[in-house]
Chain A
Amino acid sequence: MKVFAKKLIAVLALAPGLAFAAEGGYPLDRAPERNDLASLQNGAKIFVNYCLNCHSASAMRYNRLRDLGLSEEQIKNNLLFSADKVGAMMTTAMRPDDARAWFGAVPPDLSVIARAKSSPAGSGADYLYTYLRTFYKDDTRPTGWNNMVVPNVAMPHAMWQQQGIRAAKFTDQPDPHEPGKTVHAFAGFEQVEPGTMSAQDFDTATADLVAYLSWMAEPAQHTRKRLGVVVLIFLSIFSFLAWRLNESYWKQVK
Chain B
Amino acid sequence: MRTSTPFAVLALALAALGCQKKQGAEGGEAAASAALTPNAGSGTGKILIGHVASLTGDKATFGQSTDRGVRLAVTEANAAGGVKGRQLEVKTLDNQGKAEESAIAATRLVSQDRVTVLLGEVASTNSLAMAPIADRYQVPMVSPSSTNPKVTKDGARTRPYVFRVCFIDPFQGTVMAKFARETLKLDKVAVLRDVGSDYSMGLADYFIEKFKALGGTIVDDQSFKAGDPDFKAQLTAIKNRSPQAVYVPAYYGDVALIARQARELGMKQPLMGGDGWDSAKLFEIGGKAVDGCYFSNHYSHEDPEPRIQSFVKKYAQTYGEVPDGLAAQGYDAAKVAIAAMKAAKDLSGAAIKDALAATKDYPGVTGVITIDSDHNAVKPAVVLEVKNGAAHFVATVKP
Q: Do A and B bind each other?
A: no
